[in-house]
Chains A and B, each alone.
Chain A
């Protein structure tokens, strides 16, 4: 572990709960899925933001623990909320109980909807892990809970080279949009593009570590596009996050997918 906190000479960021930047020597890195306030049976905890935030961080703690990590190894956190007032009122304080004095790089977004319409918060982490990568396989994908979802809760990258894809949209090589108004066709085109890029980088669908799927409608995505995603990953799912937002770069785009992968 070799974590450095990056703080420019800007007094505004001193004493806040996050760091402007955090750098690591990426020998072993854990990417978590976006976690939420679900109970072990899949239902959402009752009581709103505070219990949801607490449950979210308890679950993240279990995922970190499985990888031999604690919250002090967190490099980056991304917090999605649907209600910023509730987050400021109670969610933030719950987060602080788990993060303690650790200050990671951080982004916070207010989105339109998460996997369940009653979900108020979802958090995903990138974590610097102790230990040497030499003994392990490149990727370790794991779950700490039984869940029916098409994703892994944690993916460890042992050495190797991280690959960052731009957000992929249903774009043809000539710049036109494939499948205007057609969720299934757009998903097919997006995964086709992801596949081309992974191959060009010496990777495959199995190399995917983390996926963020931004959609204009979670309901439409589930109804029409999920089978395409299943066909692409063939069961070998990355850690993932699904978020509903009000817009993308062009009005024709229904979905945009970002993938982080790793190759030896």
Chain B
């Protein structure tokens, strides 16, 4: 892997994610905020955050694969949701996707996303 994980006992994560990652070589990949649309542009799981989260992470993985990588290449993700009550479902879907530790991670509740039907958007930075 072309990045390393930074950990320190003084600042520990509140859940199963890395606190910091450092690029050590290779290419830097910026991934657009991914949302729950399918290949034809139709929304998947309107009103169903768990279905949207699964599709969103699937799309994120699609971009990583197109760049010659996969989920382990992710250094950092930011998850934007529109309702804090959705967080448990999102966290559940996320840990189904990431079998081990998450990358460095940020969770933000925004007022809305650019399309009002979307309940979750995830962007990432990867080393590929």
Contact = CB atoms under 8 A, between A and B. Distances in A.
Interface residues of A, number: 64
B31 interface: yes
A251 B29 contact: no
B46 interface: no
Given A26-B28, A175-B14, A7 B8 contact: no
Contacts of B66: 6-9, 20-21
Interface of B: 6-14, 17-24, 27-34, 37-41, 59, 62-67, 75-76, 78, 80, 84, 87, 104-114, 116, 121, 123, 125, 128
A167 B20 contact: no
7 contacts: A11-B39, A22-B29, A26-B28, A111-B111, A165-B19, A196-B10, A256-B106
A263 B106 contact: no
A204 interface: no
Contacts of B14: 169, 171, 175, 249-250
A200 B8 contact: yes
B73 to A, nearest CB: 11
* Interface of chain B, main secondary structure: strand
B23 A6 contact: no
Contact of B11 (A4, A20, A105, A173): A173
In the A-B complex, the 10 residue pairs with the smallest Cβ-Cβ separation, listed nearest first, are A247-B109, A167-B106, A107-B33, A12-B41, A193-B11, A166-B104, A76-B30, A200-B8, A8-B66, A164-B76
A162 interface: yes
Contacts of A165: 19-20, 104
A18 B33 CA distance: 10
Given A166-B76, A263-B22, A19 B84 contact: no
Given A167-B108, A201-B20, A12 B38 contact: yes
A162 B104 CA distance: 13
A126 B108 contact: no
Contact of B27 (A8, A25, A193, A201): A25
B89 to A, nearest CB: 14
Interface in A178-198: 192-194, 196-197
B58 to A, nearest CB: 11
A7 B13 CA distance: 33
B71 to A, nearest CB: 14
A62 B46 CA distance: 41
A217 to B, nearest CB: 14
B40 A11 contact: yes
Nearest to B81: A247
A171 B30 contact: no
